[in-house]
Every structure is written in structure tokens, then in C-alpha cells.
Structure 1
Amino acid sequence: MIGSYRLERTLGRGSFAKVKQAIHAKTNERVAIKIISTKDASTSSLTHIRTEVACLRMLDHPNVVNLREVLASSSHIYLVMELVTGGELLDRLALERHFPVGVARRYMIQLLSAVDHCHKKGIVHRDLKPENILLDEHGNAKISDFGLSALYVQGFRATMLATCCGSPHYVAPEVVSRGKYDGRLADMWSLGVLLYVMLTGCVPFSGKDMKGLFSRIKAGRFAIPAEVPADAASLIRRLLVVDPTRRATMAEVAQHPFVQGKLAVVHPVVPLVPLVETGSECARVVVTDHVMDAVLTLLGPEQEGSGLPSMNAFDLLSLSALFELAPPDSLFDTRRLLMIVPGAVSDAMDRTEAHCRDLFSGAFTVVRLGHLGKLKCTVQVGLVTVRFLIQFYDTTPDFTAALFVKRQGPRIEFLRCALDAIAASSGRQSLLGDSSADVFSSDSSICVRRADESTSVSTLGRL
């Protein structure tokens, strides 16, 4: 127990903190509790935590993750927060590649409304990106992670900030230049990048390295695909203006045709959990953090000299039970994907490598460690390099388990590469079908068929 809360499953963990689902002993309300070890956290991390708490205590908006209360002991800080179960906006964006205009508009209005509320409270976020936007069970966007936020003095002149914060692809040119800047206008730039990403599925600025990326951001040159509607393109151009004094303000954006003159809270009617059908040759397993933690425990630590890893019937039985316990309203962990491939490990590796070479062509390179059951893959996606490991596990002569693990690159690009590779291995163009309307069903279950209907491995259950 922590205060009045009974701890349940682990939702995630980091180097000095973990997040647990919990339930209030009297009200039965489910919450998320961020448990921070003060002895393991660095001084800067504790500063970010204090900032986040200070900001969240001032905010009360349906599109901002709500802080319920703060508890503390001699060694830990406990942030009791609203439980948001729909995953990150990044998860859904990676699945759909880009959003229909109506969906992007609804999310943009929600985000603008939330950011406007923050600014009116004297708070700038400074790290707006898809990973920091959560979705609730109804599909509503909620801004989270205020660790890099800053408080400014409200009044005629906003306090000018001087700290370089934010994620590289979403950061404003004045922040990159490391001069003083108005944090509110930097947030507006980030919202422009977010709108671009939601409508196109890619970032407007990229480079071979950080220097090249920052150079492109400061130059402010980007292209908008022709399929982006004129009103959306117009708003993107007004937000992605290098000179912050000429960039659209919140008041100006509120009157833009794309926003339709309102900064109201709009609830997108978009079910979150995809109904995934697979071909006859392989399956994708939707994996949440707590399930993957247990899966990796079953598989054991990675040891370079230990030979080919394996999973026995007891492991499979335990794995089956874990997936049965996975909450149906959670999206998968976008750093890892699991697939089932028919045949022994060597055959599965041959087939997967061949499919990847055909799929990615000259953009694909691989280091094969056959004795360890590993493919170390690199895919060049434009100017972005994505590296991931495919670890094959010896199970039975009939099928092999293959785990995709991200090593380098944006999570969204890794997820696309992994899903494309899995789809290619199943002989399909996409695991998700041709229409997002077909993919997102009101059915709250995740249906992934067995790799081979003819096998007798009934313990796979929902695998």
C-alpha cells in the first residue's frame, strides 16, 4: 500500500523511477503512480520532477494529464496521476502512418486548447511531441511530461527563456540557436511540426546528423505534400516561421480556417484498439510494457556466448497466460514486437532476412549471427537510420519466436520497419489492411491468430 492506494501491475520503468497502476482502497478509482527513488535520481532529474509537479498542480484541463496528489517517504516521491490507458499518440500514428484530416483537426484543436490553458497559467511545455501526448480510452489527447516545462512571468512582456530544451525534430529555430526566446512561441512551432507529422507521417526537417538537422530547422525550408489540404498547409506555414515575431500566436491560430474559429475540447470518435488479422505464415503480438517485462524474464538475460536461446513448453504456457492477462485497451510497446514464424530457427532466419532484403532493397544491411539466432538490421529511411535486432528463439520444430528490438532511430520509423518486415514475412502488403476504417474496430479485443492453424500448440491462446 502507498497511502490509500493498493499497487497493481507495473506500467513502465526507467533508471530511477517506475510507474505502477494502483486502485484507491475506498473509491476503487484506478490511477497511475509514478514512484521516484530520490537516492537514484540525479539532481537534474529531481529538478525536472519538481518542475513537473509545480506545473501539474496549476493545471486543470481535460486534455492535460491530471495530478491527483503527491506523497513522499524518506526515500521515494509518489506522484498519483490520472490513469490514461490508450497509449501514446505516437503508437496510433505509427499504426496509421498518417491521420485523416478530420482526425488530425480534432487532435490539433484539443492540443491547442490544452496549450492555451498552460500558457494562460504561465506555463510553457517546451517538449511537445507525439511521445508526450497520451490517448485515453475514448481517444482524447492528453498532454503529459512537463519535466522540461518552465514558468514565465505573465504580463505585457513574457519572460525570455535561455535553456535549450525539447526533442530535436520538434524544437524551434530560436531554441536551436541557444539565444533567449519566448517559450510560448516555441510551443507554437512544435505544434506546427506536430500537425505536419499527423497529416504526412513524417517530420518536416531531417538531417544525417544533429548538426545537419539543426541547420535545416534554422533555414526553415520544408515541403508540404500536395495531398495536404490547403487550409492545413496554410496553418503549418504560419506556425513554421523561423522569425518568432512573425509566427502565428495562439490568438491568431484560434481564428484560422483550419481550426474553424474555436479552441474547444473536441472528442474524436475514434476507437483505439486495432483488430489485427494476420496471414497464415506469421503473427504479430501486441505487447504492453508489463507483459514484455515478464516475457524477457522468461527468456532470460542476453548472453553473447551462450548459443541459441530457446523457449520450452512451460515458457510458452506462461507466455500464453501473460497475453491473456494483457489489458485490451492498451497499445503495444513500440520498442519491441514479437512474431511467430513457422519452421526451425535457421529457416526462419533465412526467410525473414530474404523478405527484408526484398522489402527494403539497397536501404537494408544486416549482420547475421546464426549461432546466436540474431539478425542485426539497419534500414536507411531517407536521411534517418533505423537499427534493430531480431532475436530468434528455438521453440519447437514447427515454429520459431522472433523478437524485434529497437536499437537506434525514431520509434515511429522502427515500428514501421518492423511491421513492414512482419507483413512481408506473411506475404501481405500490410498487417493493417488498406483502410484505417477497417483496422480500428469497436471490438475491444486484439485478435492475432496462431502461426499455423494445423499445429497443436493450443497453449498459444491469443498469440
Structure 2
Amino acid sequence: MEKKGSILLERYELGKLLGQGNFAKVYYAKDLKKFQNVAIKVIDKEKTLKAGLSEQIKREISVMKMAKHKNVLQLYEVMATKTKIYIVLEYAKGGELFNKVAKGRLKEDIARWIFQQLISAVDCCHSGGVYHRDLKLENLLIDEDGSLKVSDFGLSALIDSKRQDGLLHTMCGTPAYVAPEVINRRGYDGAKADIWSCGVILYVLLAGHLPFQDSNLIEMYKKITRADYRCPNWFPPEVRRLLLKILDPNPKTRIPISKIMENPWFKKGLGTRPAPARLAKVESTEAKLSEGNAIEKQFELSKPSNLNAFDIISLSSGLDLSGLFVADDGREDIRFTSIEPISVIVAKLEEVASELKLKVSKKDGGFLKLVSSGGRRVELGIDIDIFEVTPSFHVVEMKRANGNAFYYQKMLKDGMQPALKDIVWAWQGDSTQSRFKEKRCMSNFLCKLKFMYDVEF
């Protein structure tokens, strides 16, 4: 187990945990030989093998080795032991661009500077036959100088991934940023799909919110297909015209990167860092103040809702959701599905927390954190996330944030699981009958997608 201050493979001194997912953790570290700061992604081999993600990790590593550009996060080294893979990466001190823009829209010159760097990095990748396929604010990092670093090539595709028709056919990406042709699943040009995502990013940088956003996944896909968005009144006419060409729902007529680079607005101040180029400083206008709460709410709701129908399909075999909902006994996180509205789910969780003498507080991202109250001897913290698959189908995930693991497991088994039965459709690891219900629910959802949106699965 990696601990702060420990020396990894006689070279890297581990620091604080920067982030973690189901299969990997990312640590800040110091290279004791080169005396530089790095980030180390520690991947659990067994978990990735079980999830069938080994090829994805190999692809991510090979792509990062190929993509050499000042605005692409640099891969320094890859090491492995019997149980872990260690990917040593360039350290981007500024963190995710998402966190900067969530505070408010950027000034035009700073937004343009970021967009110029993004286009330059994506153009380099495309020239090498690499298509990112998941460009979004969360995958764009900022270094100490405020420069952009494109990261997370886990969903990227190489030019040899194309079929005989010359197109890619894998459905991937984050819904709000994904191009219409990717959703339609009729084959798509990876370069054109990345350009669309760049257009969405440009819009967000200048507006402070997403162009295509709807709590109903089907409605959001309809908006994307029609390119149904509105530019705020502070958008310059040159930007509106450029976005019209980038967010063109027809990939055949969508502007290529070469033409974006020739655009007068894009070329303005090219290569010149705005002064002061501080991303945390946002434009303060009456328009921003009037939309502040709505912007904050849109970002608050959009970030945790990463689990969608296509994520579930990719994690499952066919439509069998057992791969998502079955876990080993004693694991730190547990999930259940519910067909209740999100308001009912939250109300029930708060009620059960009160009965178990747990204090409820809002967590980053808008969901819940349960902590043991003063009357309890055993400290415990539980993070709860709620993911909307459809307006009538949710996945609720509970994780132990801190405290005694044994007490956490006991509270789940004896307290929370029985008390939540009124809102639970199926717990992870339930019987075959429960899995049948999950399968039937997802089947109905996919049929609805096919009927309303002509999506083939």
C-alpha cells in the first residue's frame, strides 16, 4: 500500500493523494534523481484485469508515448510490479480546467489563449494518427505557468482502429461533449468528432456553462443532433461565426482544424500569453452576476453525472448489469439502483441518516456526505453519489470516506440496507431475479433510445 513519505522503487518520494477512481490512484511525488515534481498514476493490475481494461491501459500508454507536444501531459516512465502499474507523468500544479471555469467564465483573451493551445495539441495528435475522443474540461489540466496540458488518453483511438470504411465505430466520450455522429453510431471520423468537442470547450470557456445541457439524456442528445444552442449576448460576432462552423452537426461540412487555425479571431495574439494570464481571475460583469447561480448549478449538476447508459453498456456484458452491481464482500463502496425520483432518494437517505445518528452535509458536486455525530465513539464518514441514467433510473453509490472499516460494513448490513428497502430496485450482488429486473429496466431504456433517437446498439 502506498503511503505518504514512502520511497517508490528507490526513486520517487510519494506525497499527497491527488485523486482516485475504481482502478487507480494518482499521487504527487518527487523524483529524487532529477529533483522535479511528478504525478504517479498507480493502477491495480488485478482490478483492471477483472474489468477487462488491460488493453485500454496499454493503449493509453502507447498513445502518450506517441503524442509529444508542449500542451500534452508528458509521460516520463512506466514501471510495474506483480500487482501494480506505475505511470510517471508530468505534474500539472494548477489541476483541472473545470475547477477554474466553474468559478465563472474566462476573459476573452484568456479563453482564446487556452483554445489556441488546445487546437495546437489536438492538431499534433491528429497528425500522428491519434484521436482523443474524450476531450472535456476535466481532461484539460493547467500547469504552474497557467499553460494547458491535455490528459487522459484512455478512450483514444489510433488510426489503425478504423474499419474498411475509414471510420471509427466505438461509442465513447462524455455525453455533453460528444459529437452527433458518435451518438448515431453510424461510423465517424475521429478528427471531426474531436473538433466538435473543442467547440463545446470553447463555448464553455466563454459562457461559463455548457451549450447542450439537459437532465434528460434523450433531450440532451436531441439538442446535440440539432446543434440547438444559444450564444450569450457577450459573445463577439467572430466567435459566433466560428462556433457555427465548429458545432456543425454535419461532420462532412464541419470546419477542419487547418481552417480553424486560419480564422482571424483564432489568430489574434497567437503565441502571446495574456497578461495577467491567471485562470482563476474571471470576468465580472452584470451578465455574469445575473447568471451566476444558474451557471454554478449547471456545473454542480453536470460533473457527477458521468454514469450514463453508454458507461453501463461498456462495463457490462451485453445488457447483463452484473458486472457493475456485483462486488466482493467487504468492499469499500456499494451500489444500488432505484426507480424513484432523485428528490425521494435524497429525502430517504437523510431520514435513514437521522435514524442512525449520522449528520448530513452537502458534498462537492451537490450530493451527500454522512458523518458520525458527537454522541458516537466510532468516527465514520460516508460519501454518497447519485448518478442519473434516465429521469426514472438512478444508481446510488456509497463509499467509506474515513473511519473504522468494520463499523462501516456493520452499519451497511444492519442499518442502511434494511432501512433503504423502500427505494431500492436492486442492491449489488442481489439474486438472479434482481439482475433480471436490472436487465429488463435497461432493455426498456435502450428500446426508448432506439425509438426516440434511432440509436443502434
Q: Which interval holds the TM-score relative to the shorter structure?
A: 0.5 to 0.7
| 2:61 alignment partner, one of 36, 53, 56 | 53
**How is 1:43-442 mapped onto 2 (pairs within 5 angstroms)?**
43-96=51-104, 98-152=105-159, 159-260=166-267, 264=271, 266=273, 269-271=276-278, 367=347, 369=351, 370=354, 372=357, 374-375=359-360, 387-389=366-368, 391=370, 407-408=386-387
The superposition leaves residues 272-323 of structure 1 with CA deviations (integer Å, 9 ceiling, x where unpaired) of: 5689xxxxxxxxxxxxxxxxxxxxxxxxxxxxxxxxxxxxxxxxxxxxxxxx
In the alignment, residue 19 of structure 2 is paired with which amino acid?
G
Distance in 2, matches of 1:242 and 1:221, equals 10
Gap runs ≥5 in structure 1: 276-333, 336-362, 379-385, 397-401, 411-463
Shift of 1:387: 5.0
Distance in 2, matches of 1:374 and 1:112, equals 46
User: Normalising by the residue count of structure 1, what TM-score does the alignment of the two structures yield?
Assistant: 0.60
Residue matched to 2:14:
7
Aligned-residue RMSD, C-alpha = 3.4
Question: Are the structure 2 counterparts of residues 390 and 13 from structure 1 closer, same or farther at C-alpha, using a change threshold of 3 Å?
Answer: closer
Question: Are the structure 2 counterparts of residues 254 and 37 from structure 1 closer, same or farther at C-alpha, using a change threshold of 3 Å?
Answer: same
The superposition leaves residues 7-51 of structure 1 with CA deviations (integer Å, 9 ceiling, x where unpaired) of: 233222222211122222222222111111111114542222111
Distance in 2, matches of 1:12 and 1:145, equals 13
**How is 1:12-51 mapped onto 2 (pairs within 5 angstroms)?**
12-41=19-48, 42-51=50-59
- Report if aligned partners of 2:26, 2:42 keep a CA contact under 8 Å in 1: yes
Amino-acid identity (%): 35
- Report if aligned partners of 1:85, 1:136 keep a CA contact under 8 Å in 2: yes
Distance in 1, matches of 2:270 and 2:83, equals 42
The superposition leaves residues 171-224 of structure 1 with CA deviations (integer Å, 9 ceiling, x where unpaired) of: 000000001111000000000111111111221112342222212211222211
Shift of 1:6: 2.6
SS of structure 2 residue aligned to 1:199: helix
SS of structure 2 residue aligned to 1:107: helix
In the alignment, residue 191 of structure 1 is paired with which amino acid?
C
In the alignment, residue 92 of structure 2 is paired with which amino acid?
V
In the alignment, residue 90 of structure 1 is paired with which amino acid?
F
Distance in 2, matches of 1:114 and 1:68, equals 18
SS of structure 1 residue aligned to 2:106: coil
SS of structure 2 residue aligned to 1:184: helix
Q: How many residues align?
A: 311
Gap runs ≥5 in structure 2: 1-7, 283-302, 305-341, 376-380, 390-457
- Report if aligned partners of 2:100, 2:280 keep a CA contact under 8 Å in 1: no
Question: Are the structure 2 counterparts of residues 56 and 158 from structure 1 closer, same or farther at C-alpha, using a change threshold of 3 Å?
Answer: farther
SS of structure 1 residue aligned to 2:77: strand
Flag the structure with more relative contact order, 1 or 2, with Cα contacts below 8 A and sequence separation at least 6.
Answer: 1
Task: Between 129-138 and 35-44, report the one with greater CA deviation.
Answer: 35-44
SS of structure 1 residue aligned to 2:235: coil
Question: Are the structure 2 counterparts of residues 182 and 131 from structure 1 closer, same or farther at C-alpha, using a change threshold of 3 Å?
Answer: same
